[in-house]
Structure 1
Amino acid sequence: MRIFLAGASGAVGRRVIPALTGQGHSVVGLTRNPSSAARIEASGATAVLGDVYDAAGLASAVAAARPDVVMHQLTDLGAGDRAANAKVRVVGTRNLVDAAKAAGVRRIVAQSISWAYEPGVSPAVEDTPLDLHGAPDRVATVGGIEALETAIAELPEWVVLRYGLLYGPGTWYERGALMARAAEEGNLPANADVSSFVHVDDAASAAVAALDWPTGAVNVCDDEPAPGREWVPVFCAAVGAPEPARVDAERTGWARGADNTRARKELGWVPGFVSWRDGFAGL
């Protein structure tokens, strides 16, 4: 297949390229950073410089690539700016979908998140509604996800990868990164809120597998949703941070984790790190 990969220099994208080319696919990787182009080329893809906010330029790049599939791994998380990331999800996705449609692409695979679901008791499954009625800052995040998922569903075939919290090299959850610094400063409490994680290598493997998955949303996370009281102390120890403060407040309603049964049982995807406990040990 010919694949146009937006976000080719990101934590997931840079792992997706060698996996795709190793299976014989032809990859065109989009990056806005000239310094990333050489790394993309070294991974076996063709690098294209462009900006997803330049709709005309993006449309030209996609048309020139003549892809069978567009893969959306766009984020803007380097500076920890959630507003910038929401903009990518809304505006960047809109431009990418329009470019794909103009080029006659039938299939798109896109990165989403698994903590956008409405409040509930148990880990969320894929048909759980998104949480569009919470606090304003949460609605801004979830609204960006809704815009992304609505846009990609305009193509005849689409897969939404609702990733758990990404950890490992190039993510917020590694030594020296954003969440490790928060832990070092005592700003990562061990509370009752439940999270689901996915190692960045497993996120990439799911993206490649999704080339053949049926249309729909899929929770891509490990087997063990866990409250902060369990995972935060393990993460702190892994990154050399002090023991965290324990918070006894009740769980936030939406912080429920996600259920990966569909990925595992229906689609045959098995994470290499079945639990964050194993993955954190390598941080």
Structure 2
Amino acid sequence: MRIFLAGATGVVGRLLVPLLLADGHEVTALTRRDPAALRDRGVTAVAGDVYDADALRGVVAAARPDVVMHRLTDLGTRDFAGNLRIRRVGTRNLVDAALAAGVRKVISQSIAWAYEPGDEPAAEATPLDLAAPDEGRRAMVEAVARLEDITAEAPEWVVLRYGLFYGPGTWYTKAGLMADTGNLPTGPDLTSFLHVEDAALAAVQALDWPTGPVNVVDDDPASADTWAPVFAESVGAVTPPPTRSARTAWARGASNDYARTRLAWTPTYPSWRTGFFGRPG
């Protein structure tokens, strides 16, 4: 299968490339940086800018892909405004290029914490939190919804609603941003995590998944008061003190029941309890 991969140098993309190649796929990777390093890894690398719509159409058409995989983010530099722009504008340009090239399937990276408030971990049918009263959250959810709506214009599509990444190269690792205890949250808000290796494996499996959104999260949504001390222990940091507060209504976690029961996806790291220490379940 010929795959056009946008975002091959991110924390998941770096793991995804060798998995795709090992399965015999032909990979063309779009990069804003020097493409030589990617070419050394066995892919056809093309330099390009997702905001240059005309040039993007040209490189996608030249690749003649069967599938376009959208893994573009701008979080490495904590550019949250840039990340919203990628979701809105970058996705538009990439999907337009895919449709113009006759691509049948688009697989996009989304998130599993954009759901509306509720008491149980959210399933895929749960509406997104488009009426969020907080302006910052509403802007984020609107950008996520835009990404997903644009992706759904493809004849076949999968939106991977990932949990919060942890593991090598993420904020949640020994050298990462959250290793500073002062950055760790406390309280009853629930988080669904996902090890980056499981994120890459799910993306490969999604090549064969039916159209629709899929929560790709581990089995163990947990409150910050529960997981933060374990993470602190795993990175050798001071355990943050618990706090007494009400749970934020949207911080409900997400359910992976559909992926497990209908798509036969099983996380290698079913829980952060062992995953923070680098141990699969």
TM-score (norm 2): 0.97
- Does residue 101 of structure 1 match 2:89? no
Inter-partner Cα distance in structure 2 for 1:78 and 1:224: 26
Partner residue in 2 for 1:58 = 56
Contact 1:80 1:178 in 2 (8 A): no
Distance 2:158 2:146 in 1: 15
- Aligned mates of 1:142, 1:165 — CA distance in 2: 15
Residue 14 of structure 1 deviates from its aligned partner by 1.1
Residue 177 of structure 2 contacts residue 183 of structure 2 at CA under 8 Å; is this kept in 1? no
Q: Please state whether the residue corresponding to 1:132 is helix, strand or coil.
A: coil
> What corresponds to 1:244 in structure 2?
240
Matched residue SS, 2:106: strand
**1:7 — aligned with what?**
7
Match of 1:136 in 2: 135
Using the alignment, how far apart are the partners of 1:146 and 1:55 within structure 2?
21
Superposed, 1:102-251 pairs within 5 Å as: 102-134=100-132, 135-181=134-180, 183=181, 186-251=182-247
Question: Which residue number in structure 2 is paired with residue 73 of structure 1?
Answer: 71
1:17 aligns with 2:13: no
User: Matched residues in 1 for 2:33 and 2:23: separation?
Assistant: 26
CA contact (8 A) 1:190 1:233 kept: no
CA contact (8 A) 1:192 1:249 kept: yes
Q: Distance in 2 between matches of 1:233 and 1:38?
A: 42
Secondary structure of 1:99 counterpart: helix
**Residue 172 of structure 2 aligns to a residue in which SS?**
coil
1:96-121, CA deviations, whole angstroms, 9 ceiling, x for partnerless residues? 00000110111000100000000000
Deviation for aligned residue 1:178: 1.9
Structure 1 position 55, deviation (Å): 0.7
* 8 Å Cα contact 1:196/1:222 also seen in 2: yes
| Cα deviation 1:193-216 (Å, max 9, x = unaligned) | 000011000000000000000000
Identity %: 60
RMSD of the TM alignment (CA)? 1.1
- Letter of the structure 2 residue corresponding to residue 33 of structure 1: R
Match of residue 263, structure 1, among 254, 259, 262? 259
1:142 partner SS: helix
- Which runs of 5 or more residues in structure 2 are unaligned? none
Check whether the contact 2:123–2:215 (CA below 8 A) recurs between aligned residues: yes
- The alpha-carbon deviation at position 57 of structure 1 amounts to 1.1
Q: Which amino acid aligns with 2:4?
A: F
Deviation at 1:190, TM superposition (A): 2.0
Count of residue pairs the alignment pairs up: 278
How far, CA to CA, are the matches of 1:262 and 1:189 in structure 2? 29
**Structure 1 residue 133, shift from structure 2 partner:** 1.4
